[in-house]
Chains A and B, each alone.
Chain A
Amino acid sequence: TQLLEQSPQFLSIQEGENLTVYCNSSSVFSSLQWYRQEPGEGPVLLVTVVTGGEVKKLKRLTFQFGDARKDSSLHITAAQPGDTGLYLCAGRGSNDYKLSFGAGTTVTVRA
């Protein structure tokens, strides 16, 4: 099992503020994915990053994969209450198609 550590565990901010969530590991991943989970639902895929140094943008969300493919970050600009949820990172090893999940970051955006 490849350990993925997410920080912070909890994040509460005011609408309009920016936030960053981090996902770190000592292992190298062939790809890394970010999911968002809302209460009472299963996680939903947001993005997959594959190349070291890759940056992907999804509206106000920016995802970055570290150069060494061991870490990733999720940045939300001008957060809205609809961004509230549990954000999970998940990595896929080079020789393993299974995903290893981080414990998640609970984001609360107050109106």
Chain B
Amino acid sequence: NAGVTQTPKFQVLKTGQSMTLQCAQDMNHNSMYWYRQDPGMGLRLIYYSASEGTTDKGEVPNGYNVSRLNKREFSLRLESAAPSQTSVYFCASTDRVGGYTFGSGTRLTVV
């Protein structure tokens, strides 16, 4: 099925460990986004990529880096995980004028 694929679905990290969250879309969308979702705080934008080759910071970029590998793939990296980064992470893509298509999320726990 067409859509946004995120891996992994679940992850437990120890404080200080690093990891990369992967995201791929097959809808030929130009724009891709990484959000985190925490209870009562809605979706907060971490980083986004308006088009292949560009990335920009969102509301809460500290502690994260991103790579727009090609038009399909947009990865999110935590260099040194902290408990405050425990959250559910969503990747999304859009053609800019339409709605967002979201992946099913990565549930990350940092202990």
- Identify the A interface with B (CB < 8 A): 1, 9, 33, 35, 40-45, 48, 88, 90, 97-99, 101-104
Bound-state CA distance A40–B104 (Å) is 7
A42-B92 contact in complex given A48-B99, A97-B31, C-beta closer than 8 Å = yes
Q: How many residues in B have their beta carbons less than 8 Å from beta carbons of A?
A: 26
How far is the CB of B5 from the nearest CB of chain A, in Å? 11
* Residue B34 is within 8 A (CB to CB) of chain A in the complex: no
Instruction: Please report which residues of chain B, range 14-46, place their CB below 8 angstroms from some CB of chain A when the two chains form the complex.
Output: 31, 33, 35, 40-43, 45
Whether a CB of chain A sits under 8 angstroms from the CB of B74 is no
Whether A44 contacts B102 by the Cβ 8 Å rule is: yes
CB of A41, distance to nearest CB on chain B (Å): 5
Pairwise interchain contact A42-B99, C-beta atoms closer than 8 A: no
Decide if A97 touches B96 in the complex (CB within 8 Å).
Answer: yes
Pair A1/B59 contact, Cβ less than 8 Å: yes
The contact sample of 5 A-B pairs, CB cut-off 8 A, is A42-B102, A42-B105, A98-B45, A99-B100, A101-B35
Chain A contacts for B105, CB-based, 8 A: 40-42
Q: A40 contacts which chain B residues (CB < 8 A)?
A: 104-105
